Chain A
Amino acid sequence: MSDILRVTNLRKSFGALRVLDGIDFSVGEGRVLTIIGASGCGKSTLLRTINGLETIDDGEIVFDGERLGADTDWRRVRSHIGMVFQSYDLFNHLKVIDNVTLAPIKVQNKGKEEAEEIAMNLLRRVGLEDKRGAYPRELSGGQKQRVAIARALAMQPRIMLFDEITASLDPEMSQEVLETLLELAAIRMTMIVVTHEMGFAKAIGDELLFMDGGKILERGAPRDFFAAPQTQRARQFLSRFEYRI
């Protein structure tokens, strides 16, 4: 199995604050990597360095055999990397269908008809084909996130990055979004999922990273990690979730 993404010794600071402190990992084709950790541990920044929304200070990111850096054509690379954010970030002036077709038409120069056909297939997959003519403000939070997922998928990316996409949703809406992700995993979409949903992290990933203070403290099969965390920090982190429940 070939690696789509390989990250080596990645470092990044904001001023004096070291956010990423020597990160190494790789993601194989069709695999799902989940990343968990307390707020501020660097997991969101890590995702954002992969598609160039943040620059890196040191280390190497190799995507699909290409080393990414300052002279990368980020437009081309980003069109192969789908990303969904925590906040609902649909384009509010566009209908659902136009949100999904905008990038395929403008970036990939697809015809309107072809783009709409792809979009309708994706909206069907996320269960929102009847919302094609709706504006974002007419949708619930969970529906918006599912449209955002369809919008990213419309570019037919090689890998999808999810940045705490259920963090501002209530449990019921989280559920419908997470089910969409499980379906994507089932069709072997390569994904990196940053999440605060521990039950979900246990269920979806092939591999799990536990991050703290800009470092990866633990890695392995999700089941093993949750059954027997190796570090004190991880036990502490997980116990907080049990306390909350």
Chain B
Amino acid sequence: MPFSGADILLDSANLARLAEGLIVTVRVAAVSIVFAFVLGMLIGVIALSRGKLVQIPYQIFLQSIRIVPQLVWLFLFFFGFAKWLGWNWNGETTGIVVFSIWGTAEMADIVRASIGSLPVHQTQSAAALGLSRSQIYLFVLIPQAVRRLLPVSINLATRIIKTTPLLVLITVVEVLKVGQQLIEVNILTNSLAAFWVYGLIFVIYFLICFPVALLSRKLEARWSVQ
């Protein structure tokens, strides 16, 4: 029977559970991405200042986030802070906080680099026209930088989405965990359960990430015409 075991996916109760897991995945990723992009924009603009008061804290923030693996941050916030500081956040909140901080650091550096790589004459000629500092950022630098940072920031968004399964390790029941549970329950009666369930999850991740990539390609094409 070539399709033996596929009925595990036709069971509406199973699909409903997977959908619940999927909602958790998308919720954590989407909220984190929104925080990361907004805060990253702000911090990235601030990080353009060369002053030590800005650069030292910024580099410590950026490097510590980058050097330590996301899983360690998750454990630190979930187990560590609960023990040391008495913060009893649930797994999903911890995930959103950690992914937001991580995404913010990465996004800030993307923003800083793409604004910093614009020719200095863009700023000077805007200043010479009498535009204020915030107007220069708002109307001259950021619109040009957005076109440069788009591909990398979309890549960051998909990286955040793809890192959400780590949340399994801090008790969050997201789509991958639901899949494992379904496999465990059915494995004795259905030897191909793992194949079908993981196959479906593969398709689900593809369906989340592919439209994001498509959107980025479309925007890039539109702006390159300009």
Contact = CB atoms under 8 A, between A and B. Distances in A.
B131 A107 contact: yes
A203 to B, nearest CB: 26
Interface string A165-206: 000000000000000000000000000000000000000000
B131 A53 contact: no
A51 B143 CA distance: 26
A237 interface: no
A93 B131 contact: no
B129 A155 contact: yes
Interface string A82-122: 11010101011100000000110011000000000000000
A226 interface: no
Nearest to B144: A93
Interface of A: 51, 53, 74-76, 78-79, 81-83, 85, 87, 89, 91-93, 102-103, 106-107, 135, 148, 151-152, 155
B129 A107 contact: yes
Interface of B: 119, 121-122, 124-132, 135, 139-140, 143-144, 147, 226
A78 B121 contact: no
Contacts of A76: 130
B119 A79 contact: no
A174 B140 CA distance: 27
Contacts of A102: 129, 131, 139-140
A89 B139 contact: no
Given A92-B144, A93-B226, A135-B226, A103 B129 contact: yes
Nearest to B142: A93
Contact of B128 (A83, A91, A92): A83
B144 A85 contact: no
B124 A89 contact: yes
A93 B125 contact: no
